[in-house]
């Protein structure tokens, strides 16, 4: 059981690292339309050029860890969410190609701008749709997916998709505040307040809708023990939002990004507490979905080697490319 929970922690860490890191570079694509000047767009692209592809390592790690430790969840989730997952991956491909070709294009630069924006928006939206469908619960019978191919296409999942887009856009704006200065930074600061307000609206909507959508969720949320565990989360979110508005007003550089990460972490903790100890809410627990202990232990030995390596080279990449961007800076 301890090995199973260790794997659950690794997967939870990997997903949060992905949202934190790839979230802000997807967010740069989401706020691209607010900055039509090509020189500013070039600077925004260069702010994520050294790190964007490394950030996606965490998505690969999460998928591989799920396959190794919880193969039943992997098979059910991929069968159920095949269409949104494939669409998300196609959007990521378009985004990656546009990222590489935009800097070399002249006549087709606007086309690659559209591909970059559309790829970022599509990947962000469908990741949120996948999250919403997961939270609603995947229909299972005889340890297999028992729904239709479009079971995920419903209002709560679409709301989750829009909410994750708002989250990524806020992270992207806050990251660019760290990397830029002058007039571009001033306009980025102006985006932080409305994006924070939009994120709070989505967090409230999801928090209210979730228990109302399923009596089992409502019953679980309002248990005495669960309510006491969840209560600090909205209070801390309110405090974090107040500090975020203050940081944007004071034009602070690093603090908005830290506070945005804190808001994301609080929302993530709320989700984890809500679904614990289920691997698929509210049908399959972590223990029931786990691979044999010998398989988990063998794979865990490899993960304990690979995970520190990923953390080290990720940290090293951010350290090497730290600091403000200067107009004309370019990474090839």
SS (H, E, C) 191-251: HHHHHHHHHHHHHHHHHHHHHHHCHHHHHHHCCHHHHHHHCHHHHHHHHHHHHHHHHHHCC
Q: pLDDT per residue over 92-130, tens digit each?
A: 998 888 888 887 777 888 888 888 999 999 999 999 999
> What's residue 84's pLDDT?
92
CA Rg, the chain, in Å?
20
- Give the residue from 252, 275, 242 showing the smallest Cα distance to 73: 275
> What's residue 217's pLDDT?
65
> What's residue 327's pLDDT?
66
Distance separating alpha carbons of residues 16 and 61, to the nearest angstrom: 12
Candidate from 115-119, 162-166, 277-281 with smallest mean pLDDT:
277-281
Provide the b/e sequence for 277-293 (b: ≥16 CB within 10 Å): ebbbbebbebebbbbee
Candidate from 35-39, 81-85, 199-203, 205-209 with smallest mean pLDDT:
205-209
> What's residue 213's pLDDT?
65
* 3-state secondary structure (DSSP) of residue 144: strand
Residues 91/61, Cβ–Cβ less than 8 Å? no
> What's residue 20's pLDDT?
87
pLDDT beyond 70 at 289: yes
Residues 84/133, Cβ–Cβ less than 8 Å? yes
| Percent of the chain scoring above 70 in pLDDT | 92
Token code pair at residue 176: 């660019």
DSSP state of 181: -
Distance separating alpha carbons of residues 140 and 143, to the nearest angstrom: 6
Interhelix angle for 82-102 vs 109-136, to 10°? 150
> What's residue 215's pLDDT?
65
* 3-state secondary structure (DSSP) of residue 168: helix
- Domains of the chain, by residue range, sit at 2-320
> What's residue 164's pLDDT?
92
DSSP state of 285: E
pLDDT beyond 60 at 271: yes
> What's residue 218's pLDDT?
64
Q: pLDDT per residue over 40-86, tens digit each?
A: 888 888 888 888 877 888 888 888 888 888 888 888 888 888 999 99
Q: Under CATH, which number does the domain 2-320 receive?
A: 1.20.1630
Supply angle C-alpha 237, 17, 269, rounded to 5: 35
């Amino acid at each position: 059981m301890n090995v199973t929970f260790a794997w659950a922690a690794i997967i939870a860490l990997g997903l949060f690292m992905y949202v934190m890191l790839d979230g802000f570079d997807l967010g740069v694509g989401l706020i691209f339309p607010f900055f039509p000047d090509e020189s500013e767009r070039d600077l925004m692209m260069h702010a994520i050029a050294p790190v964007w592809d490394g950030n996606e390592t965490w998505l690969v790690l999460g998928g591989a860890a799920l396959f190794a430790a919880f193969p039943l969840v992997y098979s059910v989730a991929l069968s159920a969410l095949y269409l949104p997952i494939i669409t998300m991956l196609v959007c990521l491909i378009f985004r990656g190609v546009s990222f590489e070709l935009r800097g070399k294009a002249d006549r087709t630069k606007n086309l690659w701008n559209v591909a970059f924006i559309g790829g970022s928006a599509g990947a962000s939206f469908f990741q949120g749709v996948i999250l919403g469908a997961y939270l609603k619960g995947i229909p299972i019978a005889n340890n297999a997916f028992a729904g239709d191919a479009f079971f995920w296409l419903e209002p709560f999942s679409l709301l989750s998709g829009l909410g994750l887009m708002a989250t990524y856009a806020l992270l992207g704006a806050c990251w660019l505040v760290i990397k830029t200065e002058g007039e571009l930074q001033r306009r980025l600061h102006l985006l932080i307040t409305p994006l924070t307000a939009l994120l709070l609206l989505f967090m409230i909507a999801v928090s209210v809708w979730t228990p109302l959508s399923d009596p089992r969720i409502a019953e679980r949320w309002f248990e005495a023990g669960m309510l006491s565990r969840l209560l600090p989360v909205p209070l801390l979110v309110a405090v974090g939002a107040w500090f975020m508005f203050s940081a944007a007003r004071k034009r602070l550089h690093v603090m908005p990004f830290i506070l945005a990460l804190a808001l994301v972490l609080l929302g993530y903790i709320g989700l984890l507490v809500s679904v614990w100890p289920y691997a698929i809410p509210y049908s399959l627990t972590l223990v029931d979905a786990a691979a044999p202990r010998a398989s988990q232990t063998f794979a865990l030995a490899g993960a304990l080697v690979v995970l520190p390596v990923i953390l080290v080279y990720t940290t090293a990449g951010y350290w090497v490319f730290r600091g403000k961007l200067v107009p004309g800076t370019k990474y090839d």
